[in-house]
Amino acid sequence: MPTHDVFNGSVSRVEILSADGSIDEQLADEVRDVLDDEAVVAAYREMLVARELDDAAYRLQRSGRMGTFPQNKGQEAGPLAAAMTLIAGHDHVVPSYRENIALFHLGLPMHQILLHWMGDERGNDIDPKLGISPICISIGAHLPHAAGIGWKLKIDNDKHGTDRVCMAFFGDGATSEGAFHDGLNFAATGDAPVVFVCQNNGWAISVPTEKQTRSQTFAQKALAYGMPGFQADGNDLFASFKVCRDAVRHARAGNGPALVELTTYRIADHTTVDDASRYRSKEEHERGVASDPLIRTRRYLEARGQWNDDLEKQEKERATRIVKEVIATAMEIEKPGKSDIFDYAFATTPRELERQRETRRTGSLGQSPRQSTLSRVEADEAVTV
């Protein structure tokens, strides 16, 4: 029997704004209906504030006022562009932890991010009207949630004629998790309007991309699930906006999910407990810093006469004032109640947790409460761990 191809596919990469601030005018014209000069100036101002908060959060951790913090530094353009394709309060976002600026753009109060990393779960008590799920630390665990939310949106869209979409963010390391494949497959077979946005910063903590996958891109993984895959320079506001808008339009039109890969670089360590200099070369880091989205966006605006040193100084001072107010709000909030950690994990608190809350006693780490001191608590009130 003759052989014949049963599948063909490809993924295109989009680049519009270069690191030196020059731009592909033809491609840029495709997105200037939204990204006109005024909008790019506004986006740059948002990036300045987000960068200032990022640096401030690092200092808070180093001064002992925060447990740990994963800096977003260097990855501002892609998530912001992605958020700009959504309708705040209409669409739904399922975040990871390295796209703070997207959440701020969609209305999340900035102090809630600080509260979260200070160990105060009220940081994840997000106004339902914003359509933002809690921050997810577990790698990729939130992607099936996004698929499920997307499926519910599809049912509502079909029933009520709406066009809501769900957007989920994750890093390249999440693609090695089973939940990534579960989420994409469920969304694809259910025609759920989900846009999966992978921020590929080249490293999953200390594991480089070439050890994550034998695929040439993460975007091409979409093809295996029967959905379109897009790739763009994630430090390029214009290119990121174009591919995300294409993906959102695809999902909003009822054509099912899509996968977007935004290539970027985390300038800082993975978190404040990491030391990236132990596995990344100095030369690589310097190349990453040179591709900083804030630098190239500023160069673009300067070339168009929309920015200068005076504005830069003025806006950095504004960013500092805003962040100081955000920190004050986070630091001055009333301390959480001692029972809070028991009260919000389950819709109905299990009896075992109720007993822990009431007695403040439990088994030691690694022991099942059923096997250890909990069963003794009721009989022996002297047992305390």
What are the φ and ψ backbone dihedral angles of 292, each rounded to 5 degrees? Answer: -50, 125
Q: What is the DSSP letter of 144?
A: H
Residue in 116, 142, 252, 266 annotated catalytic: 266
- Three-class DSSP category at 263: strand
Q: Which of 166, 231, 175 is nearest to 194 (CA)?
A: 166
What are the φ and ψ backbone dihedral angles of 47, each rounded to 5 degrees? Answer: -65, -35
Active site residue 266: yes
Residue in 181, 249, 279, 285 annotated catalytic: 279
Q: How many CB atoms lie within 10 A of CB 222?
A: 26
Active site residue 58: no
Neighbour order of strands in the sheet with 194-200: 13-14, 229-233, 258-263, 194-200, 166-171, 92-94
Task: Give the torsion sign (CA, 186, 97, 252, 159).
Answer: positive
- Residue 316 contacts residue 50 (beta carbons within 8 Å): no
Q: Which helix (H) or strand (E) holds 167?
A: strand 166-171
Residue in 270, 280, 296, 298 annotated catalytic: 270
Q: How many CB atoms lie within 10 A of CB 342?
A: 16
- Three-class DSSP category at 309: helix
Active-site residues, by number, are 266, 270, 279
